[in-house]
Chain A
Amino acid sequence: MPLRSDLAIIKEWITPGSRVLDLGCGNGALLRLLRDERQVEGYGLEISPRNIVSCLQSGVNVIQLDLDKGLDDFDDQAFDYVIMTQTLQAVHFPDHLLHEVLRVGKQGIVTFPNFAYWKNRIQIGLQGKMPVSRALPSQWYETHNIHLCTIKDFQQLCRQRNIRIQEKVILDYAHRASAPITFLPNLLVQIAIYRCQRQES
């Protein structure tokens, strides 16, 4: 299976040998990549039994847990990175979880599908239907994505909550970081990847 490009980008950001917590780690692909190529230690948190079994099969440490119940079992700054790939939009309290990410992690890495992507706008604006796409594959009635947001929304939340964005990568429909999207990111970007940190007060 070709490596998801967002995972490849995250890998480049991770310092070898660091401690990582992956929220909503899915089948453990990112942790496996980081273990094999960045020698990281850490855990994935997952709620789905099928994903738990996949993680165990690939020897990834996985803890079955409902992210909506928070990260109370983890101490402040216990991990170098807390990562959330395509998870933020699927939890009940994204703002609270983002706070928890930066409490438990020295840095947070967050990716999400940009809801303001032009193809989504066409589906809503012209066809009058909830978007279904590669980044948002499910129908509205079965999707886990209950808190979709846009690049603008996310950056606004970061400003409001004193979260400093240290690095950002935006990818178009082909998951490339092409030149045009830097001019109109909220329109042209399908997936955004942020590395952020709590602003020192």
Chain B
Amino acid sequence: MPKSIPADSVGLVTPQTEHFDEPIELVCGQTLPCFDLVYETYGKLNARRDNALLFCHALSGDHHAAGYHSMEDRKPGWWDNYIGPGKAFDTNRYFVVCPNNLGGCKGSTGPNTINPETGKFYGPDFPLFTVKDWVSSQKRLMDSIGINQWAAVVGGSLGGMQVIQWAIDYPDQLRHALIIAAAPRLSAQNIGFNEVARQAILSDPEFHGGHYYEYNVVPRRGLMLARMLGHITYLSDDAMRAQFGRDLQTGRLSYDFDVQFQVESYLRYQGSSFVERFDANTYLLMTKALDYFDPAADFENGLPEALNQTQARFLVISFTSDWRFAPARSTEIVKALTDAQRQVSYAEVESSEGHDAFLLPNSYYTDVLNAYMAGV
């Protein structure tokens, strides 16, 4: 709980909801007759309506990127380290927009909302959406807010993939594209981890084929396992060693399967608190959106060809200890952009924090963002 709101915070914020009546046709072939997007904004849109930044969230993120919902909040929004007055994404200069993605579970239309055609939860019938679908739904939001052109579209991890898709699908709608800790497509190892996470959820007896809402249960064990596994991939070996080592929770080995090592306790805590705030069907769909993302596939596997029509200036950032989307994955993006003769800069940030580093304070990362944003 913040005793008082820090001066460099956007302060108390309230999410808004935009309803879209026009049907949206998804890449999978299905159509949603209408949908809602929940979003937050910070800062002021200028008279030319061109100082807006779009933030795209990652797998388990949402629209609450910065500030607090109430004085009782334990933590601020997920990118509060970098969004706020005087911060890298300076809300004194920019109008920040951050939506909860379509299919999310924080208020935007998704599996845990009511299908107007049936009066029941969408549940497992919610169509499988892609990164491209997210971008087209975000474009609707952009039009309804009345933004002429994004000053920049920004995202980390899965959010960075949305940035790539924005630059490809709407080349003249953004001036800058900031792609952080991302990859141009998932590797077999990435997909493998996602599949184990999905199987953990799907095999939970309380999943009920995705209709668990009707049984008033949640597939708690499955979603918890999925998150515990995911969490390991967000940290580095070094970060886990430094934070937990082999420290024991109880002081001595108890020769049973209770929590003994602190890392076990930490992962169980992360897993069970995730169950309280996230929906299992959304998790399944989000991991699928990750797996399917492959903008080069539409261009005979040529990423430079996919990026050839983009007009934005790009900033690509990776973190040395990130093994989920390692620096080599970012340099694939950079290589494609230089091959396509696009404007691109790239920074590889020294960090021991693994994939999570993109959310955490880091002085070089901050300097890079500040220096780049000065010219946006």
Binding site for B on A (CB under 8 A): 19, 41, 43, 49, 52-57, 59-65, 73-75, 78
Q: Contact check, A56 vs B368: say whether CB atoms are below 8 A apart.
A: yes
Binding site for A on B (CB under 8 A): 315, 331, 334-335, 338-339, 341, 343-348, 350, 364, 367-368, 371-372, 374-375
Take A49-B364, A62-B345 as given contacts and tell me if A56 and B338 are in contact as well, using a CB distance cutoff of 8 Å: no
9 contacts between A and B (CB under 8 A): A41-B341, A49-B367, A52-B345, A53-B364, A56-B345, A56-B368, A56-B372, A62-B345, A75-B339
Q: Contact check, B334 vs A73: say whether CB atoms are below 8 A apart.
A: yes
What is the CA–CA distance of A56 and B178 in the complex, to the nearest angstrom? Answer: 13
Q: Is the interface of A mostly helix, strand, loop or mixed?
A: mixed
Contacts of B345 in A (CB 8 A): 52, 55-56, 60-63
Q: Contact check, B343 vs A61: say whether CB atoms are below 8 A apart.
A: yes
Q: Contact check, B367 vs A53: say whether CB atoms are below 8 A apart.
A: yes
Which B residue's beta carbon lies closest to that of A49?
Answer: B364
Q: Contact check, B343 vs A52: say whether CB atoms are below 8 A apart.
A: no
What is the CA–CA distance of A19 and B341 in the complex, to the nearest angstrom? Answer: 9
Contacting B371 at CB < 8 Å: which of A53, A63, A73? A53
What is the CA–CA distance of A194 and B367 in the complex, to the nearest angstrom? Answer: 35
Q: Contact check, B374 vs A57: say whether CB atoms are below 8 A apart.
A: yes
Min CB distance, B374 to chain A, in Å? 6
What is the CA–CA distance of A54 and B370 in the complex, to the nearest angstrom? Answer: 11
Contacting B348 at CB < 8 Å: which of A56, A60, A64? A64
Q: Contact check, B344 vs A56: say whether CB atoms are below 8 A apart.
A: no
Which A residue's beta carbon lies closest to that of B374?
Answer: A57
Min CB distance, A51 to chain B, in Å? 11
Min CB distance, B70 to chain A, in Å? 37
Contacts of A19 in B (CB 8 A): 341
Take A49-B364, A52-B368, A53-B367 as given contacts and tell me if A64 and B346 are in contact as well, using a CB distance cutoff of 8 Å: yes
Contacts of B371 in A (CB 8 A): 53-54, 56-57
Contacting B338 at CB < 8 Å: which of A49, A53, A63? A63
Contacts of B315 in A (CB 8 A): 56
- Which residue, of B331, B338, B339, B374, has the highest number of chain A Cβ atoms within 10 A? B338
What is the CA–CA distance of A61 and B371 in the complex, to the nearest angstrom? Answer: 12
Contacts of B344 in A (CB 8 A): 43, 61, 63
Min CB distance, B107 to chain A, in Å? 36
Contacts of A74 in B (CB 8 A): 338
Min CB distance, B157 to chain A, in Å? 20
Contacting A56 at CB < 8 Å: which of B334, B335, B375? B375
Min CB distance, A76 to chain B, in Å? 12
For the A-B complex with A49-B364, A53-B371, A64-B347 known, give 11 more contacts whose Cβ atoms are closer than 8 Å.
Answer: A43-B338, A52-B345, A53-B368, A56-B371, A56-B372, A60-B345, A61-B343, A63-B344, A64-B346, A73-B338, A74-B338
What is the CA–CA distance of A19 and B339 in the complex, to the nearest angstrom? Answer: 12
**4 smallest A-B Cβ distances: which pairs?**
A56-B371, A73-B335, A57-B371, A63-B346
Contacts of A73 in B (CB 8 A): 331, 334-335, 338
Which B residue's beta carbon lies closest to that of A52?
Answer: B347
Q: Contact check, B334 vs A63: say whether CB atoms are below 8 A apart.
A: yes
Which A residue's beta carbon lies closest to that of B375?
Answer: A59
Which B residue's beta carbon lies closest to that of A75?
Answer: B339
What is the CA–CA distance of A61 and B339 in the complex, to the nearest angstrom? Answer: 14
Contacts of A63 in B (CB 8 A): 334, 338, 344-346
Contacts of B341 in A (CB 8 A): 19, 41
What is the CA–CA distance of A161 and B173 in the complex, to the nearest angstrom? Answer: 49
Min CB distance, A39 to chain B, in Å? 14
- Which residue, of A19, A64, A78, has the highest number of chain B Cβ atoms within 10 A? A64
What is the CA–CA distance of A49 and B315 in the complex, to the nearest angstrom? Answer: 15
Contacts of A54 in B (CB 8 A): 371
Which A residue's beta carbon lies closest to that of B366?
Answer: A53
Contacts of B368 in A (CB 8 A): 52-53, 56
Contacts of A64 in B (CB 8 A): 346-348
Contacts of B334 in A (CB 8 A): 63, 73
Contacts of B348 in A (CB 8 A): 64
Contacts of A55 in B (CB 8 A): 345
Min CB distance, A49 to chain B, in Å? 5
What is the CA–CA distance of A61 and B341 in the complex, to the nearest angstrom? Answer: 11
Contacts of B375 in A (CB 8 A): 56-57, 59
Which A residue's beta carbon lies closest to that of B372?
Answer: A56
- Which residue, of B315, B343, B344, B371, has the highest number of chain A Cβ atoms within 10 A? B371
What is the CA–CA distance of A43 and B331 in the complex, to the nearest angstrom? Answer: 14
Min CB distance, A96 to chain B, in Å? 20
Min CB distance, A16 to chain B, in Å? 17
